[in-house]
Structure 1
Amino acid sequence: MQPQLPIEVNDETGVWTTDGLPMLYVPRHFFTNNHIAVEAALGRDTYSEILYPAGYKSAWFWCEKEAATHGLKGLAVFEHYLKRLSQRGWGLFSFVSADIETGNTQIMLKHSSFVLQQSGASGKLCYMFEGWFAGAMDWVGKDTGHSYATVSRETQCAAEGHDHCIFSVTPQPA
């Protein structure tokens, strides 16, 4: 995959944008080292609980903006989201399955930045993405006239010895 991101840099402010959204560009080790430090200070469970709603909100916002920018609708917005995440170095994301009627979705992640940067670490390292996928799927549901609320969990991680990570998005219990 050759990334073809439209990156623009404002000469006066130094602000980078892609598709009109302000961006930050940092080395993978810098981001991951900060991520690990916060996880160590707060504990993984607390950190995960903080990241989930923040990621959900950010994914919803991104989907809303990108749908308007590119004239996309429904699942095409989520597909575009996975493409952009892949182009930005987080890993290679793709759907295993996606059901816009129910919200049930599985996403595969190969070459996760968290796994690659933490050589020798084990466990589910990619939990930061969980809220992102629920936020994107719920946005798709709203956009297609469905009223489900989903939850997303990393159900398999490459750091556990698997070939890739899997995220399962399912409707929240009523």
Structure 2
Amino acid sequence: MSYHAPEMPIQVDDETGVWTTDALPMLYVPRHFFINNHQAIEEEIGADRYADILYKAGYKSAWHWCEKEAELHGMKGAEVFEHYMRRLSQRGWGLFSIEQLDIAAGTAQVRLDHSAFVYFYGKVDRKVDYMFTGWFAGAMDQIAQAEGLTIKTHAKQTQCAAETGVDYGLFEVTPL
């Protein structure tokens, strides 16, 4: 599955300057600006603490995004998760592809190629894509709830292209 050509309209409000895509307000910043801020926080509080904070924030944000996008486009189930991966890929974070997805079971595997974080950090023999982890559980849980399921999930990164001998990132979503 490839997501190279953006198909997202960007509207800019002439009065406020707010950028909107798919009915959600957006920020547009250079990658180095975002990642320099990310790295500064990581250096100050530590990668593990920062990963915990980002997991919770990412979970909440993914939930909100999936809920709004499903409503806007009339989508449900796996279609929402697939749309989410496509949009993430089109926004420069890296290329996300679904290796496995079962909403009812609360399981997924997501592959990440060309991570913006790996481009910045290089081979540092640790997982640097932790910002994305909560996104997958948040998306899964929102979609499951919209389907009337009570399953709750957790996500973790099992490998990262910043680790020696690894060519791509991999995330797993499993039920709690």
Q: Unaligned stretches of 5+ in structure 2?
A: none
Q: Which structure 1 residue ranges, 4+ long, deviate > 4 Å from structure 2? A: none
Measured after TM superposition, the shift of residue 76 of structure 1 is 0.7
Contact kept? 1:28, 1:117, Cα under 8 Å: no
Cα deviation for residue 52 of structure 1 reads 0.8
Instruction: State the alpha-carbon separation in 1 of the partners of residues 130 and 10 from structure 2.
Output: 28
Identity among equivalent pairs (%)? 60
Pairing 1:40-119 to 2, within 5 Å after superposition: 40-119=43-122
Distance 1:143 1:132 in 2: 17
Deviation at 1:145, TM superposition (A): 2.1
In structure 1, what is the Cα distance between the partners aligned to 2:42 and 2:148?
A: 37
Contact 1:82–1:93 (Cα < 8 Å) also in 2: yes
Answer yes or no: is 1:16 the counterpart of 2:55.
Answer: no
Q: TM-score, normalized by length of structure 2?
A: 0.95
- The RMSD of aligned alpha carbons is 0.9
CA–CA separation in structure 2 for the residues paired with 1:4 and 1:76: 16
1:130 to 124, 128, 133: 133
C-alpha contact (below 8 Å) 1:56/1:132 kept by paired residues: yes
**Matches of 2:62 and 2:92, distance apart in 1:** 17
Q: Deviations over 1:122-146 (max 9, x none)?
A: 3100011110000001112112221
Q: What's the counterpart of residue 174 of structure 2?
A: 170
| Alignment deviations for residues 92-112 of structure 1 (CA, whole Å, 9 cap, x no partner) | 001100011211110001000
- Aligned pair count? 172
Residue ranges of structure 1 left out of the alignment (5+ in a row): none
C-alpha distance in 2 between matches for 1:9 and 1:126: 30
Secondary structure of the 1:63 match is: helix
